[in-house]
Amino acid sequence: MALIAKYKVTDVEDYINARKLASSLGFLFTIACVWFVALYTRFKPVRLLLALNNLYLICILINEVSPTGILYSNIRRLSSISLPWGEPITHPEGTLNPLFGLQFLAIISNVVFAFYACYRQYQRGEKQAALILALSLAIFVGTVQYDRLMDLGVFKSLYLSEYGFLSFVVIMSLRLTKELMQAVKLREQLIESERLRKIAVELERNRLARDLHDSVSQTLFTVATIAEALPRVWKRNPETA
């Protein structure tokens, strides 16, 4: 919605407000993404994560405090370009803010952490999960870098990082759904195994009870037989008795 507002405005002040909103939301999305990667890969150096988050929080602060946002130190005017299907969108013409480098540093730092977390997950043996996460991150990072080239004026088109973030969400949602289904199936198997174990234990108890009962019965029968025969043997041969 912030992007739509940014593309459709015709006034510089309205563009700046829309741009600030879109940038701040992008920073927040990236912070959430980094924490998701940390939790998913189970690589959670808390101090490092907080330091990475602080870089983006500083970017958000600069973006909100600066009159024209973190990207531009001033915007001279708005120009319009036409997309391949004929729809016009707005693009600014202005001077880049030197503090734009801080945003670039935040991006690079978070990208290095995310791919290192994937590497750690891969080394633990979770190879498929790590590769899928790395692929979704690569798409997201690629679209972010594409947007930075647009900010530098290399070319003008639609910003793609939001679509990259969406692809990241979709890919990882499918992956998490698969893992959830596998977990449910495993849980059902464990429940079934526990049920079969209880049945096996009960059968074994019954078998032992029968064996014990038969053994005791045989012993008592033997004792009774000997006791019954003993008086007759005693009469014939006391020593043997």
- Report the pLDDT averaged over residues 149-163: 83
Token code pair at residue 127? 């190879």
Under DSSP, the state recorded for 109 is H
> How confident is the model at residue 85, as a pLDDT?
84
Considering the chain, what is the average pLDDT of its residues? 89
- Least trusted range by pLDDT, from 9-13, 35-39, 146-150, 153-157: 153-157
Give yes or no for a contact between 20 and 3, defined as CB atoms under 8 angstroms apart. Answer: no
Give yes or no for a contact between 52 and 113, defined as CB atoms under 8 angstroms apart. Answer: yes
Taking the model in full, what pTM does it have?
0.73
SS3 187: helix
Task: State how far the alpha carbon of 44 is from the alpha carbons of 32, 40, 219, in Å.
Answer: 14, 9, 67
Q: Is the pLDDT of residue 215 over 80?
A: no
Q: Report the C-alpha gap between 51 and 46 in whole angstroms.
A: 9
For tokens 């679209």, what's the residue? 143
Enumerate the β-bridge partners of residue 218.
none
- Report the pLDDT averaged over residues 183-209: 89
- Report the pLDDT averaged over residues 132-160: 88
Q: Which residues contact 173 (CB under 8 A, 6 or more apart)?
A: none
- Least trusted range by pLDDT, from 16-25, 29-38, 140-149, 214-223: 214-223
